[in-house]
Amino acid sequence: MDRQRLDKWLWHARVVKARTSAAELVEKGHVRINGTREKSPGHAVKLGDVVTVALDNSVRVLKVVGFAERRGDASAARELYEDLQGRNLQAGKE
């Protein structure tokens, strides 16, 4: 698998609790892929894409590094992305 629907990937990565919530986030314009606002939940993300998600009180910047066939637990979800925002915050502490 080298691509996956954006809403499905967000759900598998546990950015949201339900796939319908993922679709709604995208449709409302709260998700960017490589800096470009995406409004189609069916848009395909691929390895290396940077997904920026504006949530209620935070912004997550995630690099796509994997895909899943099924939604797993939190540790499995963390294998699907690299948290670029967390990396930048840690770099600033050094």
CATH number at residue 56: 3.10.290.10
pLDDT band at 94 (very low <50, low <70, confident <90, very high): very low
Strand partners of residue 37: 32
Task: Please give the sequence-ordered ranges of beta strands (E in DSSP) within the chain, or none if there are none.
Answer: 3-5, 31-33, 36-37, 44-46, 50-54, 59-64, 81-83
Number of domains in the chain: 1
Task: Round to whole Å and give the CA distance between 18 and 22.
Answer: 7
Q: What is the pTM of this model?
A: 0.89
18 is in which domain, residue-wise? Answer: 3-93
Give the confidence band of 88 by pLDDT, cuts at 50, 70, 90.
Answer: low
